[in-house]
């Protein structure tokens, strides 16, 4: 993990504690326009302290063992790290606030910090780790993925607007991918599913 110590935001003061870098009106506007790629890039809402918490999480979460849910808040931005069972449960808010976090470099940061690799699908996906047996969206070993918009990948676009089921019969190379599914509310929130993964992340605006 020592190689990750330089992966810090360029300037923590860009988003002082308590400031809301993105307001609801902007989120609604971006949702109504049907995309979030237009949000400004190059600035991270995470402070170096929060990134250190992420590092500690990645370092201290043993393979295959359950973790207590915890999170931290930065203004209206809340990063919630939780076990897969909690993340994928119907009663759990397990949303990825793509309007705020649809910044590839931020996903790359989180990926490097946690030892995961980020996926560039829509620029809004994140490879996560969770025990496949705990994924309970449909059954213990089956996940339904909804593709919300054109991805540029013909293999994925054929499922646009529908469900792509991933189960134990799915090839490993596909199980290792993460898909962003349909926007959930008019604030640009989507859920993220990580089939075949072993650690779970949930990012949301609260």
In this structure, are strands 163-167 and 142-146 parallel, antiparallel, or unpaired?
Answer: antiparallel
Distances (CA, A) of 73 to 22, 79, 97, 103: 14, 6, 14, 19
Q: How many helices (H) and strands (E) does the chain have?
A: 7, 8
Q: Give the angle subtended at the CA of 193 by the CAs of 111 and 54, to the nearest 5°.
A: 30
In this structure, are strands 142-146 and 179-185 parallel, antiparallel, or unpaired?
Answer: unpaired
Per the structure block, which two tokens stand in for 91? 């009663």
Confidence of residue 154 (pLDDT cuts 50, 70, 90): low
pLDDT in tens, 15-74: 332 333 333 344 344 434 433 333 333 333 334 444 444 444 433 333 333 333 333 332
Specify the pTM. 0.19
**Phi-psi region at 146: left, alpha or beta (left = phi > 0; alpha = psi -120 to 50):** beta
Domain count, the chain: 1
Per the structure block, which two tokens stand in for 75? 């203004």
In this structure, are strands 95-97 and 70-74 parallel, antiparallel, or unpaired?
Answer: unpaired
Q: What range does the domain containing 103 cover?
A: 2-205
Contact 45, 13 (CB under 8 A): no
């Amino acid at each position: 993990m020592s190689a990750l110590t330089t992966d810090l935001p360029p300037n923590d003061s860009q988003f002082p504690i308590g400031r809301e870098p993105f307001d609801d009106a902007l989120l609604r506007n971006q949702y109504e326009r049907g995309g979030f790629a237009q949000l400004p890039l190059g600035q991270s809402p995470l402070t170096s302290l929060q990134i250190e918490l992420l590092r500690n999480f990645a370092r201290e979460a043993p393979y295959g063992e359950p973790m207590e849910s915890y999170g931290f808040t930065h203004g209206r931005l809340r990063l919630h790290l939780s076990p897969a069972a909690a993340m994928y449960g119907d009663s759990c808010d397990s949303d990825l606030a793509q309007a705020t976090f649809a910044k590839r470099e931020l996903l790359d940061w989180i990926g490097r910090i946690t030892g995961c690799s980020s996926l560039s699908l829509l620029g809004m996906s994140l490879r996560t780790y969770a025990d496949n047996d705990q994924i309970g969206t449909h059954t213990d070993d089956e996940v339904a993925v909804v593709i919300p918009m054109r991805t540029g990948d013909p293999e994925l676009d054929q499922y646009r607007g529908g469900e792509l089921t991933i189960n134990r019969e799915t090839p490993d190379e596909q199980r290792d991918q993460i898909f962003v599914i349909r926007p959930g509310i008019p604030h640009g929130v989507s859920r993220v599913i990580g089939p075949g993964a072993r650690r779970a992340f949930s990012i949301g605006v609260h």
